[in-house]
Amino acid sequence: MAMSTLLVSLVATSVVMYFISKASWKIGAILNFLIGIFLISYVFALSTGTTSELGTLFGQKLQLIWTNASYYFSLVSLLVIVSVMLFAIKWLDSQKYPAAFNMFLLMMTAGSLGVFMAADLITLYIFWEIAVLSSMLIVPMGKKESRKAAVVYAVMSASGTYMYLYGAFLAFQRYGTLNISEIAKHMVSDPSTGIKATIFLLLASAGIAKSGIFPLHTWLRIAHGNAPDAFSAVLSGQLVKLGSYVLMVSVAALPSLKIFSNIPFYSGIPATNYFLIALGATSIIIGTLMAIKQDDMKMLIAFSSVANGGYILIGIGTMDPIGFEGGVLHVFNHALAAAVIFMAFASVVYRTHTKKISELGGLIHKMPITFLAYLFAIISLAGIPPMSGFISKWMIYQALVRKGMFITAFIAFFGSIGSFLYVFRPLAGVFLGQLPKKYKDVKEVSPIMWLPMVILVTISLIIGIWPFPILKPIEGMRMDFGIAPTMKIADSSHWLIKGFAGNWNPVLVFNLFLIGFVIAYILYTLFPRPKKVDLLAPHKKEGAPINIYTGGEFIYNPDLYQYNTKFYAGFERMYEKHPSWEKLLEMLAKFFYDLGEWVHGWFFRPSPSAYTFWVTLTILIVFWVRW
Amino acid sequence: MISLLIAIPLLLAFISIIWRSLSKPLFFLASFTNIVILITSWFPNGVEIHAMGNWKPPFGINLVFDNASFYAALVVNAFFLLTSLLPGLVGNYGIPLMLLMAAANGFVLTGDLFNSFVFMEIITITAVTIASKKENFYNAFKYLILGGIAGSIYLLATIFAYASTGSLNMAHVSMAGISSSSLVAITTLYAIGLGVEAKLFPLNGWVSGVYGGNDLAPVILGTSVSFAALYMVGRLFGTVFHGNGAEVLYTLALITIVIGEVAALRQRNLLKTFAYSSVAQAGVVVAMLSKGTGTAMGLAYFHLTNDAVAKFVIFLVAGFLVYNYKNLNGVFKKHKVLGASFSIASFSLVGFPLFAGFQSKLRIIMEAFSMKDYLFPSVMLLATLIEVGYVVRWNVKLWFEEETQEKAETPVIASTLALILALVLITVFIKPDIFLGGAMKMGNALADTKDYIQGVLSVVKGGM
C-alpha cells in the first residue's frame, strides 16, 4: 500500500471507528490495536527512499518520502501508541467518551505518521494540524480542569505552528519550493544570513512549542497533567516527539552547520544552534526544579518531559556526531519511559481515583507489577545503567565535554541529578511508605493494562543491553544529514559504542549489574526479613501495643506522619519565591482579553451617537492622511 | 432575463402583503426561481447587460451580468434559498426577506452608481426590520442610524462622482479621467459608505448587537448581505476606481482583523462571538480585495464563500442553542449532529486542514507573500491564533462541560441542512475547485476593467 493511500484511509477509518465504537467501544479499541499492529509491520516492511504523492495543493505537489528518520520516529511513536491502544482496551471502561477517544486516537496516529513521512513543509503542516486537532479533542475528556487545558494546549501549540507556517511561506517566497531537501540546498547558497536565521527560527518554533521547550513549555503541565490518564502517555511519550522531529528537521535536515557557518558562536556551533541549546538548557533547569516540587504525579512527569525535551534539543543542536545520535536516541528512551510512567499512573488512578502523591502510599504490595514497571521506567528516565536511558545521556555528555561546553554540561548533570530526586518522589509517595486505610482493598490492574507496560520496559531493558538495532537507523539518519559520515559510533561487532572519552560496552555493564544484583539477592535471602508493623492495631484492639514512634512521641494518627506530604520541603524552600513563567504567559493572554474589553467599551458598546462620532472621525482622519 | 432576479422577489413580496399566510411558500418560490434562473445562465463568460427601458448606456440604468455578478448573485440567492427551507426561522419575516432578496440582487447586478445607492438603502431598511426580530429594537435602531449615515455618505460619494464625470454609469465613470483630488474624495467616501455594510472598523459597531439579537438576522445578514456588500467593494475599488483608495481599505482591514478577533475573544455570548469573528473575516476579505489583482480578489471571494457557508452553519446552530437553552454547557451531547456540524464549521473558520477554510487561508497567505506583503500574513496568523483560542474554548464548552438541562426538541431540517453544509466544507477541502473556480472567475472579471467598459458600452441586449 502506498504511503498516501495508507494515510488517507487511516483518516477515513478513524471516522468509521467512531460508529463502530458507538456500537461497542471494546470492539473499536481492539480494532484500533490491530490496526496499530498492522502499522508496525507496515513500518518494518517499508524500504527507505520510497516516495509517494498525496496530490497537489495550489500547484505544489504534496510529497511523502520514507527516510531513516521517518522509520525511526514512526517506530517510536507506534510503540507508544500501540501500547496505549492495548492499555485502553480495559482502561476505557473508566472513561466517559470511549467512542470519540478511539476515533481521535486513530486520527492522531495518522497525523503523526504523516508528519514523519512528509517531504515538504506544507504536507508536514497539514498532518501536524491533524495530529494537534485530534489530540486536542481528547484532552478535554478528562476531569474538569482538562477543559481549560485543551484551550491552553491548542493556543500554545498554534502559536508555534503559525510561526512555522510563516517561516515555510517565507522560504517558499524566497526559494520557490517547499520541498525540505531543496530548501536545504538553496539555504546553503543563500548569502543573506538574516533571512536564513529568520526562517530557521520560525520553523523551529513549532518544535519548541510542541516539545515543551522554554518559553512555550507551560502547556505541558496543564495538558499532560489533566488529560485523560492513559492519553497523557501518548502526549508525553509520542506527541512531544513531533516537536523533536521538527527541531531535527530545522537543525539537521536543513544543515545548520553549513548554512550558518559564517556565524560561529562557540566551539564551531553557530549562534542559531547555540540559541536553541540555551533554550534547551533553560528547559532542563525549569523542568527539573518544577518537577521536584509537584505533588500531582502527572504534573511532575509533565515537567520532567520539559527537562527531557531540553536534553533532546541540546543533543541535536550540537550537530556533533555523537551528540546528535545521543539526542535522537533520547527520543526513544524518553518516549518509552514516559509512556510507561504515565500508564503506571493511569493504573494507579484507575484503582484509587486520585493523582495526588500525598494521598497515596504503600501500593507496592497491592500493585507489584505496576510498581516494577514504574521502577524500571524511572531507572531509564534518570539515566542509570543498565537501562537504555543511560546510553543516550552518556552520549550527550560526551558531546558536551568534547565541545568544551562546560555550562551546558553542568546544567545537564544538574538535570540528571535532579531527575533522581523527582522520580523518587512518586516512587516513595505512591508505592512505598504507608498504605492509607481506604486503599486496603486495591488490586493489581488486569493483564491487558500491565502487559503494555511490561513490554515497553522489557524493550527498554533489551535496548540498554544491546542498543545496536536502534542505533542502526540513527546512524543512517546521521549519514543522511551528512554529519561526519566517515565516523562510526556504534560498533556492534565489538559490542561497543565509541565515545570521545572512552567507549561503552553495554553488555559488559549489564553483566556487572547482574552480578551485583545476584550478590544483593543472596544477602537479602541470608539476612532476616523486616518485621511488619500494623500502625492501626491500637485503633482496632484495645490494649494493643503502639510499636512505632518518632521524635520521642508515639504516633496515634499515622496519616499525619505520612512522609510524602511536603516531600522535599527543605529543598523546595530554596527556590520557593521563584518567578513564574506561567503567570507571565497568563498576563499575555489577559492582555488580549483586556484589549478586547477596551475595544468593546470604546467602539462596540456605545450609543448610535458615538458610532456617528467614529464614522466622522474616520472620514476626517482618512482625508487628512490622503490629502 | 436577469432583471427577473429582482422582479420576482419584489412581485412576490407585494403579493404576500395581500395573502400574508402565503409569505413563507412564496419566499421559497422566489429564491428557488432565482436559483433556477441563475443555473440556466451559468457563467456568462462575458459581459451581458440589460438596459432598462432600452436606454443605451451610459444613459439610463442598466444591469450588468458578467462572471462577477453571476457568482455573487449565485451565492446571495443560494443562502436565501437555504434560509427559505427553514420555516421556523423565517417566521413572519417572509416579506422583508423577499424585499431584502430583491435589493441584494439589485445591488449586485446594477451597473449604475445611484441605482446601487437605492438598493443599498432598501437593504439597510429591510435588514433593520429583520434585525428587530425578537424585540431586538435598540440594536436595530443603532443599525438604522449607522446604515442611514452610511447611505448618505455613499450618496455623497455618488454625487461627487457625478459632479466630476457627469455620469452615473459605472463603466462610464471608470473610463472618465477624474482629477486626482476628486478621486480622493470619491473613493474615501465610498470606502466609508461601504465600510459600514462591509463591517470595517470603526464603522462596525452595529454588528454584534444585530447578529447577536436574534436567530434570523445573523443567518441571512452574515452570509448573503455580507457577500453583496463585499462584492460591491470589489466592484467599485477593483473595476471602477482601479485600486485608488486601496491603501485606506488595506489599513482599515488590518485593524479590523485584529480588533474583531480580540473582541470575539472576550465575548461570552455565542452569537456575538461569531458576529465579531465575521467582522474579522470581512477584514481578511477586504485586505485581499485592496490588492486589486484578479487572483487576489478571486481568493478573497473564495475565502468569503467558505466563511459564509461556515457562518451559516454556525449561526444556525448557535441561534437554535441560544434560544432553547439557558445554559449552553455540554448541549452538544444531546444534539450530536448539530454539534458535529458546528465543530466542522468552526474548525473550517480557523483553517484547520480537512476543512474548506484551510484551502482559502493558505492560498491567501501564499498570494500575499508572492506580492511581497509580509505584514498581512503575520496579522492574519496572529488573528488565527486568537481565533483558535475562542473556537476551541466554545467547542470544549459545548461538547464537554457538564450538562444541566432537559433536552429541547431537535430541529430536523436545520440539523440536516447544517450537516449537509458541513459536508460541503469537507468536500471543498478535497476539491477546492467547487468554490475556487467560480471565485477566480469572479475575481478576474472584477479586475478586468477594459472588458467591463467594452461590454457595457458597446453591447446592448435585452430590453423591456
Q: Quick: pLDDT tens for B360-408.
A: 999 999 999 999 899 999 999 999 999 999 999 999 999 888 887 777 7
Identity of the residue in A147, A163, A622 whose CB atom sits nearest the CB atom of B248: A622
Show Cβ contacts of residue B295 under 8 Å, excluding neighbours closer than 6 positions: B367, B440, B443, B444
DSSP per-residue letters across A456-481: HHHHHHHHHH--HHHHHHHHHHHHHT
Show Cβ contacts of residue B264 under 8 Å, excluding neighbours closer than 6 positions: A596, B273, B274, B275, B276, B277, B279, B280, B386, B387, B390
Look at residue A543 and tell me whether its pLDDT is greater than 70: no
Residue B464's pLDDT is: 40
| Positive or negative: CA dihedral B93, B99, B104, B105 | positive
Neighboring chain A residues of B252 at a CB cutoff of 8 Å: 618
Residue B280 near chain A (CB below 8 Å): no
CB contact under 8 A, A626 and B381: no
Residue A464's pLDDT is: 87
Show Cβ contacts of residue A588 under 8 Å, excluding neighbours closer than 6 positions: none
CB contact under 8 A, A603 and B389: no
Identity of the residue in B150, B365, B397 whose CB atom sits nearest the CB atom of A169: B365
Beta strands in A490-619 (DSSP E): 490-491, 496-498, 503-504, 549-550, 553-554
CB contact under 8 A, A166 and B267: no
SS3 B401: coil
Residue B203's pLDDT is: 84
Residue B463's pLDDT is: 42
CB contact under 8 A, B267 and A596: yes
Neighboring chain B residues of A219 at a CB cutoff of 8 Å: none
Neighboring chain A residues of B184 at a CB cutoff of 8 Å: 623, 626-627
Beta bridge partners of A550: A553
Identity of the residue in B192, B369, B385 whose CB atom sits nearest the CB atom of A615: B192
CB contact under 8 A, A147 and B386: no
B68-84 in b/e form (b: 16+ CB < 10 A) is bbbbbbbbbbbbbbbbb
Assess contact for A114 and A126: CB atoms under 8 A. Answer: yes
DSSP per-residue letters across B75-129: HHHHHHHHHHT-HHHHTT-HHHHHHHHHHHHHHHHB-BHHHHHHHHHHHHHHHHH
| Positive or negative: CA dihedral B119, B124, B129, B134 | positive
End-to-end CA distance of chain A, in Å?
Answer: 65
3-class secondary structure per residue, A170-203: HHHHHHCCCEHHHHHHHHHHCCCHHHHHHHHHHH
CB contact under 8 A, A623 and B188: yes
- Please state, rounded to an integer, the average pLDDT across all residues of chain A: 87
CA distance B6 to chain A (A): 31
- Please state, rounded to an integer, the average pLDDT across all residues of chain B: 89
Give CA A31 to chain center in angstroms.
Answer: 26
Residue A479's pLDDT is: 86
Q: DSSP letter at A56?
A: E
Put the strands of the sheet holding A496-498 in their side by side order: A490-491, A496-498, A503-504
- R_g of chain B computed on alpha carbons: 21
Identity of the residue in B196, B259, B377 whose CB atom sits nearest the CB atom of A169: B377
Residue B224's pLDDT is: 92
Residue B352 near chain A (CB below 8 Å): yes
CA distance A504 to chain B (A): 46
Give CA A413 to chain center in angstroms.
Answer: 20
Neighboring chain B residues of A172 at a CB cutoff of 8 Å: 366, 369
Identity of the residue in B202, B264, B401 whose CB atom sits nearest the CB atom of A618: B202
Identity of the residue in A141, A166, A604 whose CB atom sits nearest the CB atom of B208: A604
Out of A42-46, A73-77, B54-58, B131-135, least confident range = B54-58
Residue B427 near chain A (CB below 8 Å): no
Helix, strand, coil percent content, chain B, rounded in steps of 5: 75, 5, 20
CB contact under 8 A, A626 and B184: yes
CB contact under 8 A, A608 and B366: no
Assess contact for A377 and A251: CB atoms under 8 A. Answer: no
The Cβ-side half-sphere exposure at A262, using a 13 Å CA radius, reads: 11
Show Cβ contacts of residue A489 under 8 Å, excluding neighbours closer than 6 positions: A321, A322, A325, A395, A471, A475, A497, A498, A499
CA distance B142 to chain A (A): 5
CA distance B389 to chain A (A): 6
CB contact under 8 A, B264 and A610: no
* For B369, nearest residue in chain A (alpha carbons): A173
The 10s digit of each residue's pLDDT in B434-454 is: 899 899 999 999 988 888 888
Alpha carbon distance A488, A391 (integer Å)? 16
Alpha carbon distance B286, B198 (integer Å)? 8
Alpha carbon distance A292, A422 (integer Å)? 5
- Region of residue A362 (left: phi > 0; alpha: psi -120 to 50; beta: else): left
Residues 206-265 of B with CB under 8 A from A: 206-208, 245, 248, 252, 259, 262-265
A179-188, A554-563, B152-161, B203-212: which has the highest mean pLDDT?
Answer: B152-161
Provide the ipTM.
0.91
> How long a stretch of residues is chain A?
627
Nearest to B353 by CA among A209, A84, A118, A71: A118
Identity of the residue in B141, B365, B385 whose CB atom sits nearest the CB atom of A155: B385
Task: Output B53 or B279, whichever has higher pLDDT.
Answer: B279
Nearest to B311 by CA among B112, B7, B129, B79: B79
Neighboring chain B residues of A120 at a CB cutoff of 8 Å: none
Average pLDDT over residues B234-263: 89
Q: Is the peptide bond between B202 and the residue preceding it cis, with omega within 30 degrees of 0? A: yes
Assess contact for B219 and B271: CB atoms under 8 A. Answer: no
Neighboring chain A residues of B363 at a CB cutoff of 8 Å: 58
Residue B462's pLDDT is: 46
Identity of the residue in B149, B208, B245 whose CB atom sits nearest the CB atom of A612: B149
CA distance A360 to chain B (A): 28
CA distance A380 to chain B (A): 36
- Distances from the Cα of B114 to the Cαs of B118, B161, B179, B399, in angstroms? 6, 10, 20, 49
Residue B371 near chain A (CB below 8 Å): no
CB contact under 8 A, B384 and A608: no
Cell 441563475 belongs to B38
Tell me how many residue pairs between chain A and chain B have CB atoms under 8 A apart. 152
The 10s digit of each residue's pLDDT in A466-497 is: 888 888 888 888 888 888 888 888 887 888 88
Identity of the residue in B196, B366, B381 whose CB atom sits nearest the CB atom of A58: B366
CA distance A152 to chain B (A): 8
Average pLDDT over residues A311-320: 90
Assess contact for A361 and A463: CB atoms under 8 A. Answer: no
Alpha carbon distance A337, A536 (integer Å)? 36
Percent with pLDDT over 90 in chain B: 47
* For B358, nearest residue in chain A (alpha carbons): A126
Q: Which three cell numbers stand for residue A246?
A: 521538527
- Distances from the Cα of B123 to the Cαs of A292, B10, B120, in angstroms? 64, 13, 5
- Distances from the Cα of A430 to the Cαs of A142, A245, A360, A364, A368, in angstroms? 21, 33, 5, 8, 12
Give the largest Cα separation in chain A, rounded: 100
Show Cβ contacts of residue B367 under 8 Å, excluding neighbours closer than 6 positions: B288, B291, B295, B296, B299
CA distance B461 to chain A (A): 38
SS3 A260: coil
Q: Which three cell numbers stand for residue A77?
A: 511513536
Nearest to B355 by CA among B345, B363, B340, B365: B345
Alpha carbon distance A213, A311 (integer Å)? 10
Residue A545's pLDDT is: 63
Neighboring chain A residues of B365 at a CB cutoff of 8 Å: 165, 169
Residue B459 binned pLDDT confidence (cut-offs 50, 70, 90) = low
Give the pairing type, strands A269-270 and A264-266: antiparallel
Q: Which three cell numbers stand for residue B378?
A: 503575520
Residue A535's pLDDT is: 63
Identity of the residue in A58, A165, A610 whose CB atom sits nearest the CB atom of B381: A165
Average pLDDT over residues A401-418: 89
Identity of the residue in B184, B266, B366 whose CB atom sits nearest the CB atom of A593: B266
Neighboring chain B residues of A163 at a CB cutoff of 8 Å: 381
Backbone angles phi, psi at A356, to 5 degrees: -85, 125
Q: If residue A62 lies in a helix (H) or strand (E), which one and from where to where?
A: strand A60-65
Assess contact for B341 and B422: CB atoms under 8 A. Answer: yes
The 10s digit of each residue's pLDDT in B118-138 is: 999 999 999 999 998 888 888
Look at residue A557 and tell me whether its pLDDT is greater than 80: no
Identity of the residue in A141, A593, A611 whose CB atom sits nearest the CB atom of B205: A611
Residue B156 near chain A (CB below 8 Å): no
Residue B205 near chain A (CB below 8 Å): yes
Give the residue from A615, A616, A623 with the most B CB atoms within 10 Å of its CB, the best one to mutate: A615
The 10s digit of each residue's pLDDT in A356-407 is: 888 888 888 888 899 999 999 999 988 888 888 888 888 898 888 888 888 9
